[in-house]
Amino acid sequence: MNQLFIGVWNHKEKDGTISDEGGVFTDKNKNVMFNLQVLNSLDKEYRDKQIHVFPNELAKMGFQDNYYDDEDTRKLTLRHYLNDKIFIFKIDDREFDNPHAYDIRTHIRNSDFSVNDTFEEVPIFFDDSKKLSDKLLIGETIRSRAVNLISDKKDSISSFMISKDENSNLILFEDVTAINTDGIESVQYQKPDDNNPITIRKITNNSQMDNYYYDNGDSSDIRHNIMFIPTRYLKGDQLDNFATRYSLLTESKDNMVENSKVQDPDLLFLDQFNNVLRSSKYQLLLDQDDIVKLHTSIKSNLLTILAGLSGTGKSRIIRAYAEALGIDKNSENRFKFISVKPSWQDDSDLLGFADTISNNYRPSDTGLVDTLIDAKKNSDQIYLIVLDEMNLSRIEYYFSQFLSVLERDSDERYLTLYSDYLEARLYNSSTYHARIMIPENVRFIGTMNIDESTFELSDKLIDRANIIELNTVPFYEIENMKLENLKQKQEEKNWHKFPVSLLNHSAHDIKLDTTQLNFLWELHEALNHELPNIGVSWRNVKFIEKFLNRLPSNYFKKIDEAFDWQVSERILTKLRGTDTMLSNLISYNEKDHKLNGKIIEILDKYADLSQFEVSRKVLQVKVRELVVNGYAR
């Protein structure tokens, strides 16, 4: 067998017990040897087997067994040798009950190694990435020595592959599906299409994500064939940190001229979203920047809130967004619309409760819990949960548990439905566990009106959500809107159904620079000096950077404007209080009809960073509120 495996010292004894000293023993000739544990994620056949490493292979690895020492000392020496290493090897399984490793290469474990890691065996093909893209698009067989080193079973071949671009950057192809292989030198992959695109990413040099290994050492002078990558690097946010997404490989509409082309998924989606908004079904006219804000916010934030006057179409916009994603009548379970009630007092109104009289969990009639369960089962699809008029009740009452959970890492976002000790008592606990996960493919969207019938938002909520207040487009512009039949559009071949990878697409690799960070710090100091409980948090900084990275590729030259959006939506929304509280921060000079105050001074100082047009408008509204009402909301 030529397939390569990756593994570590297996601490399991013959009787199945595991100990720090286990898995190291002597053969009948009193030579020391040890067992390996296979860590390949897709090859389950060997995962529970102990793979022997015989003394002759140990010697080839460079281990020197001092036969003059006693047996316990020799075993201890081998344990010290094995402790910080990871191994890449082949398996001889001709004696199926006694498989052993050969052609073993040793690597020192990298700093990000975890004892819980499993690895995906990703082939490296030496066609340049453009040439490889062309082959994938026409379904051409790929020939490479790497094929001989991966599984000969198509179901065990990774859904990722690696190539290089013209600048020698490593390019990661995501969502490739092997349909045929000879196990020697040839593999064929399924052609991408509009419903099954291939995502193309550039592997970053993230020093904190170094736990990957090549088949033949780390030298850049060697031609590598395989990269073993931890499966955790290839999921959710970690995948975005490991490899920046920048394009999508799919069929072209115009394949009369060329069979296919690479397209930006954000631009594809925004084009489709515009078609839905301007259809005869919705007839919604939105500012293009607002459309981009909404989409980018949903991608970069678990909770997005659309705020504004009643009757501006906030709920319909979100329904249109879902339809643009490809959520139709056959997948309505992926779009949960929940109308918030003024009577809601705690999260049981939203989630449900444990009925200890009948020993059953009673999920709320909102259906939220069932939607989260369904989303966990279908991790490749996007789920939208809408809380309509979410500030009709105090959000901190019914949504408090969510606010704490949403900021955690994706694998720690668990809601508590009831106490763990009740799980054994409840008849339906196999369906409704004590804790339920909020999966990475779920996004919450709230709508809210700002009037006397609603509650204000707390700083805790503002800090965790992206709040978008829609601009009003002149009514007369609707006369120029060409209405199209949405049903006909959806039946066309080029209508897309977008997978969850759209949420993780990042067209940029932006880090906030020193000027931006200095601006945010000065803004924080000004706010915090006048309002001790208000400021710019680390969470704000992190989310602003994430938002900028998730912008569509055609907005790269408008980063200054997008930075202004985030300042107005994430920071200036916290600015509220009486005229006495805010007068040093913002005020209005009636003589020259200009805004004054510390915040204006900071915006002027950093005019090269952005004109801050949106932020200035927000401040102008707050000043008017102070003049008229004596209080800014």
**Per-residue model confidence as pLDDT tens digits over 177-189:** 999 888 788 899 9
CA distance 562 to 23: 57
Coil, helix or strand at residue 542 = helix
pLDDT surpassing 80 at residue 483: no
Q: What integer pLDDT is reported at residue 96 of this predicted model?
A: 66
Q: Kindly indicate the confidence band of residue 254, based on its pLDDT and cuts at 50, 70 and 90.
A: very low
CA distance 232 to 211: 10
Please state the rounded mean pLDDT for residues 350-376: 95
Q: Which of 84-88, 253-257, 301-305 has the lowest mean pLDDT?
A: 253-257
Q: Kindly indicate the confidence band of residue 16, based on its pLDDT and cuts at 50, 70 and 90.
A: confident
pLDDT surpassing 90 at residue 246: no
Q: Considering the chain, what is the average pLDDT of its residues?
A: 88
The pair of structure tokens assigned to 349 is 């109104």
How far is the CA of 326 from the CAs of 198, 320, 441, 485, 496, in angstroms? 18, 10, 15, 16, 6
pLDDT digits (tens, 9 = 90+) for 585-609: 998 887 777 889 999 999 999 999 9
| Token pair 């020391």 in the structure block, residue | 32
500 Cβ neighbours under 8 A, 6+ residues apart: 379, 380, 381, 382, 440, 441
Percent of the chain with pLDDT over 70: 96
**Terminal C-alpha separation, the chain:** 70
Helices (H), 331-439: 348-351, 368-377, 395-398, 400-405
Q: Kindly indicate the confidence band of residue 247, based on its pLDDT and cuts at 50, 70 and 90.
A: confident
Q: How large is the C-alpha radius of gyration of the chain?
A: 29
With beta carbons less than 8 A apart as the criterion, state whether 45 and 69 touch: no
The pair of structure tokens assigned to 466 is 């992206």
Say if strands 178-181 and 142-143 run parallel, antiparallel, or are unpaired. unpaired
pLDDT digits (tens, 9 = 90+) for 370-412: 999 999 998 889 999 999 999 899 898 899 899 888 878 878 8
Please state the rounded mean pLDDT for residues 113-140: 88
- CA-angle at 224, arms to 218 and 227, nearest 5°: 80
Say if strands 226-230 and 119-128 run parallel, antiparallel, or are unpaired. antiparallel
Q: What integer pLDDT is reported at residue 95 of this predicted model?
A: 77
CA distance 309 to 321: 20
Q: What integer pLDDT is reported at residue 633 of this predicted model?
A: 78
Q: What integer pLDDT is reported at residue 235 of this predicted model?
A: 87
DSSP state of 8: E
How far is the CA of 258 from the CAs of 131, 190, 253, in angstroms? 14, 19, 9
Q: Kindly indicate the confidence band of residue 256, based on its pLDDT and cuts at 50, 70 and 90.
A: very low
CA distance 527 to 502: 36
pLDDT digits (tens, 9 = 90+) for 547-571: 999 998 888 788 999 999 999 999 9
Please state the rounded mean pLDDT for residues 342-360: 94
pLDDT surpassing 60 at residue 263: no
The pair of structure tokens assigned to 172 is 């990661």
Q: Kindly indicate the confidence band of residue 220, based on its pLDDT and cuts at 50, 70 and 90.
A: low
157 Cβ neighbours under 8 A, 6+ residues apart: 42, 123, 150, 151, 178, 181, 187
pLDDT surpassing 70 at residue 252: no
Q: Based on the number of CB atoms within 10 Å of its own CB, is 273 exposed (0-12), middle (13-18) or buried (19 or more)?
A: buried
Q: What integer pLDDT is reported at residue 255 of this predicted model?
A: 36
Q: Which of 254-268, 318-332, 500-514 has the lowest mean pLDDT?
A: 254-268
DSSP percent split of the chain into helix, strand, coil, nearest 5: 35, 25, 40
With beta carbons less than 8 A apart as the criterion, state whether 573 and 458 touch: no
- For the full predicted model, state whether its pTM sits above 0.85: no
pLDDT surpassing 70 at residue 119: yes
Question: Could you tell me how far CA 58 lies from the centroid of its own chain?
Answer: 42
Please state the rounded mean pLDDT for residues 349-370: 95
Please state the rounded mean pLDDT for residues 109-117: 90
The pair of structure tokens assigned to 558 is 């408008």
387 Cβ neighbours under 8 A, 6+ residues apart: 338, 340, 399, 444, 445, 446, 447
Sign of dihedral through CA atoms 241, 243, 248, 249? negative
Backbone angles phi, psi at 238, to 5 degrees: -65, -35
Coil, helix or strand at residue 107 = strand
DSSP state of 40: B
pLDDT digits (tens, 9 = 90+) for 283-298: 888 888 999 999 999 9
pLDDT digits (tens, 9 = 90+) for 47-66: 888 899 999 999 999 999 88
Q: Kindly indicate the confidence band of residue 82, based on its pLDDT and cuts at 50, 70 and 90.
A: very high
Q: What integer pLDDT is reported at residue 267 of this predicted model?
A: 87
Q: Kindly indicate the confidence band of residue 197, based on its pLDDT and cuts at 50, 70 and 90.
A: confident
Q: What integer pLDDT is reported at residue 25 of this predicted model?
A: 92
Q: What integer pLDDT is reported at residue 433 of this predicted model?
A: 94
Q: Kindly indicate the confidence band of residue 204, based on its pLDDT and cuts at 50, 70 and 90.
A: confident
Select the more confidently predicted residue: 166 or 512: 512
Select the more confidently predicted residue: 516 or 210: 516
Nearest to 233 by CA among 190, 195, 201, 196: 201
Beta-bridge partner residues of 467: 305
